[in-house]
Amino acid sequence: MTSTLSRQLSARIEHWPIAGSFTISRGAKTEAVTVVAEVSHGGLTGRGECVPYPRYGETPEGTLAALQAMQEPLSRGLDRRALQAAMPPGAARNALDCALLDHEAKSGGRRVWNLLGRPAPRPCTTAYTISLGTPEAMAAATARAAHRPLLKIKLGGDGDGERIAAVRKAAPASELIVDANEAWTSDNLAQNLAACADAGVTLVEQPLPAGQDEALARIRRPLKVCADESVHDRASLDRLRGRYDAVNIKLDKTGGLTEALAMADAAQALGFEIMIGCMVATSLAMAPAMLLAPQARFVDLDGPLLLARDRDGGLRYDGSMIYPPEAALWG
């Protein structure tokens, strides 16, 4: 049995410029700030990447400190299974969970999906995100992306009916999903859902604020509604029934691939459709999420496409088609 006593953990903050800017209802940003964890032992290094999210009280510095604090437990033999109880769900645990999985796969000379007994990921279509803006700006951005089969449209509250109508006119053949990022209210919920239905939208993500989404259970929903900020890990699934039709699984919320896979299985057992989501980050953060794609109705792993550049050896994107990672990148 391989000793874990000499495992070394390193972590760092990285900055990745975004191509233009990325705007949602909570604001705009021009760079992605990620935290990378690396676990080294036996001449091999496993890597994982996360994106701390202020919406959940996370900062890059706090995430870095949380990771650095795990050096001693790792030296004492902490493994990926024990990690689930040793750290709370969130970005820091995601980076370390994925780094441990990557190292475990490399040490065994196997791909990570064989290690976990999961189906091998195959090439699949990812959504491509259109940032929030005026109807005219969003229509122009949509027209440039109208060749893509699946577009994810960021909305933000007042004027969303005009925005989605303009987007649909600019991309008549694309499948549309919408993400309101908690910006709607119980007063405009029905109106905005109707506007999305009129535009042929397939799915609306998180229309109401998490914890204030009870109105979804009281109305007739004209299209499917997906939980994002309202769902984190398996513990949050039960209260969603009757309010949501789908759940967006993100590794930064679940605290890594280990919990994300268990959550996908549990969500499907409860009748939810699965969406695989991401933050704006490099291919190192997208690669583990590819293992969830075989269970997903929607795959939204376009983070690297929104960057000015991806890391070397990143995932292969061919238009909106995303291909499984090479072992040198992850897993």
CA atoms within 13 A on the CB side of 320: 18
pLDDT band at 29 (very low <50, low <70, confident <90, very high): confident
pLDDT the model gives residue 5: 55
pLDDT band at 22 (very low <50, low <70, confident <90, very high): confident
Residue 136 has pLDDT above 70, yes or no: yes
Active-site annotation, residues: 154, 250
CB 33 within 8 A of CB 60: yes
pLDDT tens track for 169-191:
999 999 999 999 999 999 999 99
CB 75 within 8 A of CB 7: yes
Average pLDDT over residues 311-325: 98
| Backbone dihedral angles phi then psi of residue 202, each to the nearest 5 degrees | -85, -35
List, in order, residues 6 or more apart from 294 with CB less than 8 Å away: 118, 119, 121, 122
List, in order, residues 6 or more apart from 251 with CB less than 8 Å away: 50, 94, 98, 257, 260, 278, 285, 288, 289
Domain 8-116 class?
alpha beta
What is the location of CATH 3.20.20.120 in the chain? 124-322
Please give the order of strands across the beta sheet that includes 8-24.
Answer: 8-24, 27-41, 44-50
pLDDT the model gives residue 164: 98
What is the location of CATH 3.30.390.10 in the chain? 8-116
CB 50 within 8 A of CB 63: yes
pLDDT the model gives residue 3: 46
pTM: 0.94
Residue 109 has pLDDT above 80, yes or no: yes
pLDDT the model gives residue 241: 94
Neighbours of 325 (CB within 10 A): 24
Residue 151 has pLDDT above 60, yes or no: yes
pLDDT tens track for 257-316:
999 999 999 999 999 999 999 999 999 999 999 999 999 999 999 999 999 999 999 999
pLDDT the model gives residue 135: 97
| CATH number of this structure's domain 124-322 | 3.20.20.120
Taking alpha carbons only, the member of 13, 15, 19 closest to residue 309 is 19
Taking alpha carbons only, the member of 261, 219, 303, 268 closest to residue 16 is 303
DSSP H helices in the chain: 60-68, 71-75, 80-86, 91-108, 112-116, 135-144, 160-170, 189-198, 251-254, 257-269, 283-289
Residue 137 has pLDDT above 50, yes or no: yes
